[in-house]
């Protein structure tokens, strides 16, 4: 199991990076990306500290800790600039907080994200066919979310992705210990949003491929 979307206390999570990585390791997660929320106000503070933590943890633990970030609730016009800055600061896995239906994300965020240098469009809500197709063309992964609320549109996201051939990943979007999800539960969430049993392995392989790309 690989989870490429979790939060520490550097944004709105409750755990230190070392603690959330250790807890993930304990439930069988092989790789974890710490992707705290960033905007223009904190990007230069958060990412370097996550990079430092991951470098130290990777010296001693088998689980792979990957520094990342989730660009969140910013004007769509700012996403491209922030994505470039995040990469320069060391974010290896870069997400944008997509247009979930349970938060007032600015309209146009999905499209702006897909036209930027990111890896995953997180919980993209009622994503359009046009944007799903753009995700396919840009090789950007669409997220199936294990988080309450964001998961309400998992079925739609899965349907649109499968229709156009866009690739999916599953992430927990964990903010606290109980949010972390093992492979068995992740499989059930994927099946529950309409992904066939024969396709579940492909979703997990997509995360594995992304890990190999950034390491």
Other beta carbons less than 10 A from residue 195's beta carbon: 23
- Three-state secondary structure call for residue 163: helix
Q: How far apart are CA 11 and CA 46, in angstroms?
A: 8
Handedness of CA 71, 73, 76, 82 (dihedral sign): negative
Question: Would you say 69 and 36 are in contact if contact means Cβ atoms under 8 Å apart?
Answer: yes
Token output for 105: 């994300």
Question: Would you say 162 and 6 are in contact if contact means Cβ atoms under 8 Å apart?
Answer: no
**Helical segments of 107-153, H only:** 109-114, 129-138
What is the extent of the structural domain holding 119?
A: 2-214
This model's pTM is above 0.95: yes
Please count the CA atoms within 13 angstroms of the CA of 42 that sit on its side-chain side. 15
pLDDT digits 0-9 by tens, 128-141: 999 999 999 999 99
Q: How far apart are CA 39 and CA 30, in angstroms?
A: 28
Kindly tell me if the per-residue pLDDT of 215 is higher than 90. Answer: no
CATH number reported for the structural domain that contains residue 152 in this entry: 3.20.20.140
pLDDT at 173: 98
Q: Which residue has the higher pLDDT, 145 or 215?
A: 145
pLDDT digits 0-9 by tens, 46-105: 999 999 999 999 999 999 999 999 999 999 999 999 999 999 999 999 999 999 999 999
What's the number of domains the chain is made of? 1
- Three-state secondary structure call for residue 31: strand
pLDDT digits 0-9 by tens, 7-38: 999 999 999 999 999 999 999 999 999 999 99
Q: Strands, DSSP E only, in 57-195?
A: 64-71, 93-97, 120-122, 141-145, 168-171
């Amino acid at each position: 199991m690989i989870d490429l979307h979790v939060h520490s206390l550097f944004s709105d999570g409750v755990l230190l990076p070392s603690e959330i990585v250790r807890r993930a390791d304990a439930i069988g997660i092989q790789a974890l990306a710490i992707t705290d929320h960033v905007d223009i106000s904190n990007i230069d503070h958060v990412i370097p500290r996550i990079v430092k933590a991951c470098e130290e943890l990777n010296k001693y633990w088998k689980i792979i800790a990957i520094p990342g970030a989730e660009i969140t609730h910013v004007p769509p016009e700012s996403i491209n600039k922030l994505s470039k800055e995040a990469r320069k600061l060391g974010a290896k896995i870069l997400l944008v907080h997509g247009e979930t239906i349970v938060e007032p994300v600015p309209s146009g965020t999905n499209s702006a994200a897909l036209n930027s240098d990111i890896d995953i469009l997180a919980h993209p809500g009622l994503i359009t066919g046009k944007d799903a197709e753009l995700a396919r063309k840009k090789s950007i992964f669409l997220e199936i979310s294990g988080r309450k609320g964001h998961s309400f549109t998992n079925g739609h996201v899965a349907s649109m992705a499968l229709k156009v051939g866009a690739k999916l990943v599953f992430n927990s979007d964990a903010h606290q210990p109980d949010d972390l999800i093992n492979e068995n539960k992740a499989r059930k969430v994927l099946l529950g949003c309409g992904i066939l049993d024969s396709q579940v392995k492909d979703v997990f392989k997509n995360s594995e491929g992304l890990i190999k790309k950034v390491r």
